[in-house]
Amino acid sequence: MTSKYSRICQDIKQNINQGLLKKGDKIPSIRKLSKAYGCSKDTVQHALLELKYQNILYAVHKSGYYVLEGMQENDELDISLTDYSNRAYEDFRLCVNESLEGRENYLFNYYHQQEGLEALIASFQKQLEDTGVYSKKKNIVVTSGSQQALYILTQMDFPNNKEMILLEQPTYHRMNDLVRSQNLPYMTIKRDFQGLDFKKLEELFQNYPIKCFYTISRYSNPLGLTYHLQEKQALAELAYKYDVYIIEDDYMGDFAKTGDLPIHYYDTHEKVIYLKSFSMTLFPALRLSSLVLPQNLTRSFLDYKRLIDYDTNLIMQKALSLYIDNGMFAKNLKYLNRVFAHHMKQTLAKLAKYQITKNYVLAPHFVSLYLTDAKSDSLIENYMNRERSHYLRLTIDEKLSYNLEKWKSHL
Ligand SMILES: Cc1ncc(COP(=O)(O)O)c(C=O)c1O
């Protein structure tokens, strides 16, 4: 005989599958369900928690359980990569509504917290832990996108009393812009398909007053490079040996392969500043990032942040916290990983069609290529000296085949 617990789970799932319960619908209260099924409230509570755990329902504090929808295996995978963030939008909208409707203390009895909303920091801590980033809550800071974090980090003094910023090249064009436009002292080191020259890195760390090294650990922008295990360990060791901080920009960390951990994981001496944006997993307009700071940088970072704004947008912080806690983030990420895997598989087939078997790096949303006999200007902004390079980056979109055809004789 089926237990009451299983029957509740099955009935709710069936109602969802048959369309009787739709996304966002409220599940009857625990009291009503316990009466209807003739069982204890505990049994109902367990069944609802199980469905929450399966990402079928989500819970709203002091309100009840709502339909989140399980991930359908036949969800469309062929959506354009430029449109994928629309998928997160609907769920996120529910969380924004909830954040406004709740009229909770967080809006009206609030004292300024430059570090971010307590509820969001707790959500971040758990979510970071799931990806191998272990931190105390007091070292986690919410920022308005990575941009704000990078701006403050380039401005503030570091405890190592050094002043130079080391940039891998090519790199995220906004980081180049930040350093260039503020006339900050900097050095560069090449990181391309040949990887990073660790001997050169050590020489720079040893001989120059390098305050921090900005690097993108997974699917780097623009070339799509990912450090392997020994490189991450070496980076953590060198940082400690020469008292240099590493700014690990992990904007694609959510899409890392299973078992691929961030540099932060290998840092046992608090030398890694870990930064993760939600722009790639949700949408750039959200403007929220999580930043994990070494203890001795936290105070001065917050002092700087206070000068720029009191609080990062509270409604959005609350909404993101609900979005993570309710399992919507995990659900969307699972979906995005399937979309990206699908696009990567298709891209590999396209590369094979054009007989491109080497000199390329594939990332979830782009492919970078080495051109043997031509210099392209596609990455000019990604080099401090705005040089033309042998590298080319192509977005995975409907023009990819056309672009591969155009460039194939240079590969
Ligand atoms: C290297 C890198 N870091 C961070 C971001 C996201 O920045 P933000 O959080 O300011 O939107 C991007 C977006 O493309 C990026 O390429």
What are 151's two structure tokens? Answer: 């701006």
Whether 144 and 288 have beta carbons less than 8 Å apart is answered as yes
Q: Mind listing the pLDDT tens digit for each residue in 45-100?
A: 888 888 887 778 888 877 889 888 654 545 667 666 666 666 778 788 888 888 88
Query: Is the CB of 146 inside a 6 Å radius of any atom of ligand 1?
Result: yes
Could you tell me which of 304, 31, 6 has the C-alpha nearest to residue 144? 304
Could you tell me which of 126, 161, 159 has the C-alpha nearest to residue 140? 126
User: Which ligand 1 atom minimizes the distance to the CA of 278?
Assistant: 9
Higher pLDDT, 25 or 217: 217
Whether 113 and 119 have beta carbons less than 8 Å apart is answered as no
Question: What's at 308, amino acid-wise?
Answer: I
Burial (CB count within 10 angstroms: exposed 0-12, middle 13-18, buried 19+), residue 105: exposed
Query: Is the CB of 43 inside a 6 Å radius of any atom of ligand 1?
Result: no
Question: What percentage of the chain reaches a pLDDT higher than 90?
Answer: 64
> How far away, in angstroms, is 89 Cα from ligand 1 center?
19
For residues 298 and 305, give the distance between their C-alpha atoms in angstroms, rounded to a whole number.
Answer: 10
Q: Mind listing the pLDDT tens digit for each residue in 289-302?
A: 999 999 999 999 99
What are 348's two structure tokens? Answer: 């590999």
Query: Is the CB of 173 inside a 6 Å radius of any atom of ligand 1?
Result: no
> How far away, in angstroms, is 378 Cα from ligand 1 center?
18
Checking DSSP bridges between strand 245-249 and strand 272-277, what pairing results, if any?
parallel
CA atoms within 13 A on the CB side of 226: 18
Could you tell me which of 339, 176, 180, 149 has the C-alpha nearest to residue 248? 149
Query: Is the CB of 317 inside a 6 Å radius of any atom of ligand 1?
Result: no
**Residues shown for the chain:** 411
Question: What's at 223, amino acid-wise?
Answer: L
**Measured at the alpha carbon of residue 177, what is the angle toward residues 305 and 246, in degrees to the nearest 5?**
60
For residues 160 and 106, give the distance between their C-alpha atoms in angstroms, rounded to a whole number.
Answer: 37
> How far away, in angstroms, is 238 Cα from ligand 1 center?
26
What are 105's two structure tokens? Answer: 């203390």
367: left (phi over 0), alpha (psi -120 to 50) or beta: beta
Q: Mind listing the pLDDT tens digit for each residue in 131-150?
A: 999 999 999 999 999 999 99
Those residues whose C-beta lies under 8 Å from the C-beta of residue 360, and which sit 6 or more positions away, are: 351, 367, 368, 369, 370, 411
Interaxial angle between packed helices 173-181 and 145-155, expressed in degrees from 0 to 180 and rounded to the nearest 10: 40
What are 95's two structure tokens? Answer: 């969380």
User: Which ligand 1 atom minimizes the distance to the CA of 150?
Assistant: 10
> How far away, in angstroms, is 147 Cα from ligand 1 center?
7
User: Which ligand 1 atom minimizes the distance to the CA of 145?
Assistant: 9
- Protein residue with its CA nearest to atom 4 in ligand 1: 251
Whether 273 and 212 have beta carbons less than 8 Å apart is answered as yes
pLDDT tops 60 at residue 394:
yes
- Tell me the best of 279, 365, 366 to mutate to test the pocket of ligand 1, counting ligand atoms within 8 Å of each CB and taking the most: 279
Q: Mind listing the pLDDT tens digit for each residue in 322-374?
A: 999 888 898 889 889 988 999 999 999 999 999 998 899 999 999 999 999 88
pLDDT band at 250 (very low <50, low <70, confident <90, very high): very high
Interaxial angle between packed helices 145-155 and 295-308, expressed in degrees from 0 to 180 and rounded to the nearest 10: 110
- Protein residue with its CA nearest to atom 7 in ligand 1: 146
pLDDT band at 19 (very low <50, low <70, confident <90, very high): confident
Query: What is the structure's pLDDT at 71?
Result: 43
Query: Is the CB of 249 inside a 6 Å radius of any atom of ligand 1?
Result: yes
Query: Is the CB of 143 inside a 6 Å radius of any atom of ligand 1?
Result: no
**Measured at the alpha carbon of residue 377, what is the angle toward residues 375 and 379, in degrees to the nearest 5?**
110
> How far away, in angstroms, is 220 Cα from ligand 1 center?
10
Largest CA distance in the chain: 76
- Tell me the best of 144, 171, 172 to mutate to test the pocket of ligand 1, counting ligand atoms within 8 Å of each CB and taking the most: 172
